[in-house]
Chain A
Amino acid sequence: HGDVSAKFCSRRSADALRPLPPRLQSPDVFATDNRISIWSSGDLGNAGLNGEYHGEPRLLCDIQHNGDVMDMQFLDQERIVVASSTGTVTIFRHHQNNQTLSANHRWEKAHYHVDQDTSCGGAACTGVVCSNPEIVTVGEDGRINLFRADQKDAVRTIDNADSSTLHAVTFLRTTEILTVNSIGQLKIWDLRHQRNEPSQIFSLAGDRVPLHCVDRHPNQQHIVATGGQDGMLSIWDIRQGTMPVSLLNAHEAESKGPSNLALNISRNRTFTTSQGNLF
């Protein structure tokens, strides 16, 4: 689909897309080397002859972050929720008038291990999803946390929700979430129910390939896509059965499988990235 021009950021990045505000300058957030940075992607109206995008990203502001950034998402126009490898979940606020970032709120040890000696007891928080004002996080400790942006403590915590590591989470409906784990299972949780059990479990037959990311179709709520460690993109219909509807070999098994995999389903296209490849 034409050329993609990229500026070398010289640092790894896991990015989040902001819902486009109604103005030309739309800053984007990139996590680079334990700093949260906000970049301006330039004037979007500036397209070339072939519809190529000519802007170059420009750094607006950044801030130090403790631990690796595992995941991040915009909560609203100004706030970003960031998941850290130390198990802390932080809300950063982007002040657009003076282009600075500040830490707004922090939940320390949102994810932790029983053995306090291992990496200071913190367990990496691997995924975060927002639906203002609710925030759901999952981590290596198999725990699911439900936060509200304005509340100090977690609204609800499901301990031992999963016996293996949870890799990603997304909202299915306003009261239901989807999680994927490292033994290849997709689980639906109904947050209205108080019991700490998933309402449904789906898995791939055969090898228990870890699933790294999940997203649902914007229009058809029963269609869900997951990305596996072997590069396989699976499409599920959660109304019927526990098996995927179709499997696509998105990335060669030889190449580096989806590690920093981001899944984004828009109108008719599914985008997945894997260490630099866009599918």
Chain B
Amino acid sequence: MGGAGPGAADEHRPVTVVPGAVPRRQLCFAWGPAEVLVCETLFGRTGEGAPSTSRVFVVRRDQDIYIQTLRKLFNESHGIFMGLQRSEEELAGKSRKAQLVQVSKNYRSVIRACMEDMHQAAISTRDPALQGQYSTQVSILSAMELIWNLCEILFVEAAAAGPLLLRLLDWVRLHVCDVDSMVREVLSSENPSKHKLFWNVVDIFVLQGRMDEARHLLSKEASANPTSMNMYKILDDLMKKMPVPSLGNTQTLTELELKWQHWHEECQRYLQDGTFASNPHMESICKILLGDEDAILEKKELMTTWYHFLVTRLLYSHPTVKPMELRFYAQSSMDLFLGGESSPEPLDMILMAAFEFEMHQVIKECSIVLSNWWFVAHLTDLLDHCKLLQSHNLYFGSNMREFLLLEYASGLFSHHSLWQLGVDYFDHCPQYGRVYLELHIERIPLSTEQKALKVLRICEQRQMHEQVRSICKIMAMKALRNNRLGSALSWSIRAKDAAFATLISDRFLKDYCERGCFSDLDLIDNLGPSMLLSDRLTFLGKYREFHRLYGEKRFPEAARLLLTLMTAHIAPCSFWMTLLTDALPLLEQKEVIFSAEQTYELMRCLEDLTAGNPDKQKFQDDDVETTKVEMLRLALARNLARVIVKEGTVEGS
């Protein structure tokens, strides 16, 4: 799923070896929604020996969705995503921006939380392979947060000159080089100023613009070394007076620039006077304060990265840098720092693209480097909400945001439970979301009824009637194969699938004919209005009702029902013989049940049945059948006789 973003050139595609595939066999393949189905084949090569088993492989790129600890990332970011989609669009200007910045911060805190968990997992596991995997994940997450944070400063918050520098300083302090352990070591020693790392710590404080902390440490040096008291006082003073941008509107940029120029000149004077000549450390600090590139570059190992170098440079040479000027400083910083020794890594290129305000480039590079779409999908969505992405139409019609979200959500669908998150993402892709959802939701493996019900609820909420029907049919078929006729009928009723209901009813009736009794009475007795779904189903219900009435000795009603079943053509012709046979005991009762009219009807039915049979020869040969018909005719005749007498007598009295 990482793969190339839209329009990327095909450079160095990694080769994946399919484990278990025989080397000289050919492989054929077919694309699936999230994976490739690969199968061994001979394909046109005949006579290559005896046919042997061919195996099928599923090649999947994205393993990340299966990493347990990343689940929190997917779940929580889903919540933030949904919140963003539903947030107030009417809020304008500052409040909207503040809202978006908050969303960005939320995303970042989720990444950090995940990093914590991953780190815990890494140190607590004993399996070295797992440990390696977790550690890699930690560094990837850390890089993601680094990039996201920079994007937040430059794009979401769009910090202006002044605050921009402060934000970048925060960014560097938070993410680059680990100062804290060094600081702790020095401060906890007996004689901090004599510690070998003492000046390193002071330097890094200065490089990061942490003046108060630097001054605090320097005071220890001063008290330990009274001879340099004078130098210390001057340096301390310079550091205290350094003008920095403020977050509030207490001064304009011009004011700041003036102050800064003034201060800069003062530092210059002290340096040229040789005030710090006797202490190389302090002299170096003064040079740094003056923004001397060489002096700053000397501290390369402390800064560790070119972007730290960039921010330090800006702090001491151009604190009122404007956003659009960043690109120049960024490029030159990288060049100076790397100095031709090493080439930039992917992370460096991404950050550079950010400094150059090339949002699309950032997204593209991230897509290539990262192994799943999570990062780019969410970041792009946020940037889109900031109205920063022009509708950059890709050649297949949808826009960047939608493309990435669709890819991400599709990836989620291959997971047995994360697919539920994917549904919401599709909902918020206006152009193709619904189509994707329709295709994916039908392919979720329905291992339990509970899962099927969940899927159905999602479909029903979105009026996806086709999918509802399709899923119900699948469940009905499964139930039927497992001989769960009740469940099968239930599902086909829900699907309003008359044909299937007919099929199942036929099964019930067949069972009845074979066994002589009904199975699953609890179901048939309680069909309710759903009985009307199919004729066969109605017949089944009514036929069972007939049996019930008979069992309760409500003969006249039973008789009436039986007759209706035939005359109203609810019963299938194949069943008429059975029904007529069922009528026999009613005809044989002591009291007369069928009226004259009814008896005539029955006779007519019988004649219809026997007359309608084209193969009279065969019919007559079958002894059982002929006997039955004979018995029926006899019983009907006798009944007719009795009823005529009875009706005649009643009318007479």
Contact = CB atoms under 8 A, between A and B. Distances in A.
A208 B490 contact: yes
Contacts of B523: 163-164, 183
B417 interface: yes
Contacts of B417: 12, 33
B87 interface: no
B530 interface: yes
B75 interface: yes
Given A70-B450, A126-B450, A257 B486 contact: no
Interface of A: 8, 10-12, 33, 68, 70, 85, 113-115, 118-119, 123-124, 126, 140-142, 160, 162-165, 182-185, 187, 198, 201, 203, 205-208, 210, 229, 254, 256-257, 259
B519 A163 contact: yes
Given A85-B448, A140-B448, A208 B457 contact: no
A144 to B, nearest CB: 13
User: Which A-B residue pairs are the 5 nearest by beta carbons?
Assistant: A163-B486, A163-B520, A113-B482, A164-B486, A124-B448
17 contacts: A12-B417, A33-B68, A124-B447, A124-B449, A140-B484, A141-B482, A142-B487, A182-B449, A183-B486, A185-B526, A206-B528, A206-B529, A208-B490, A208-B530, A259-B453, A259-B454, A259-B457
A164 B487 contact: yes
Contacts of A207: 528-530
B506 interface: no
The range of chain B's interface size is 20 to 34
Given A162-B522, A164-B490, A11 B71 contact: yes
Nearest to B457: A256
Contacts of B450: 68, 70, 85, 124, 126, 259
A257 B457 contact: yes
Nearest to B79: A8
A111 B417 CA distance: 23
A34 B400 CA distance: 36
Interface in B25-76: 68, 71-72, 75-76
Contacts of B461: 254
Listed residue (B447, B450, B453, B493) with the most chain A CB atoms within 10 angstroms of its CB: B450
Contacts of B528: 205-208
B457 A165 contact: no
A114 B454 CA distance: 25
Nearest to A121: B482
A10 B482 contact: no
A243 B487 CA distance: 23
B483 interface: yes
Contacts of A210: 453, 490
A114 B488 CA distance: 14
B481 interface: yes
A106 B648 CA distance: 75
Given A142-B484, A201-B522, A10 B449 contact: no
A142 B490 CA distance: 13
Contact of B487 (A165, A187, A206, A256): A165
A33 to B, nearest CB: 7
B175 interface: no
B484 to A, nearest CB: 6
B447 A119 contact: yes
A124 B448 CA distance: 6
B233 interface: no
A124 B493 CA distance: 22
Given A163-B520, A207-B528, A10 B75 contact: yes
Interface string B528-564: 1110000000000000000000000000000000000
A149 to B, nearest CB: 25
A56 to B, nearest CB: 15
Contacts of B529: 206-207
Interface string B438-471: 0000000001111001100100010000000000
A180 B596 CA distance: 47
Contacts of A205: 528
Given A163-B519, A182-B449, A118 B482 contact: yes
B454 A162 contact: no
Nearest to A163: B486
Nearest to B75: A10
B486 A142 contact: yes
Contacts of A70: 448, 450
Given A8-B76, A164-B490, A140 B449 contact: yes
Given A140-B448, A206-B528, A229-B453, A163 B482 contact: no
B325 to A, nearest CB: 43
B478 interface: yes
B485 interface: yes
A210 B457 CA distance: 13
Nearest to B520: A163
A142 to B, nearest CB: 6
Nearest to B528: A208
A140 B478 CA distance: 12
B541 to A, nearest CB: 13
B567 to A, nearest CB: 29
Contacts of A119: 447
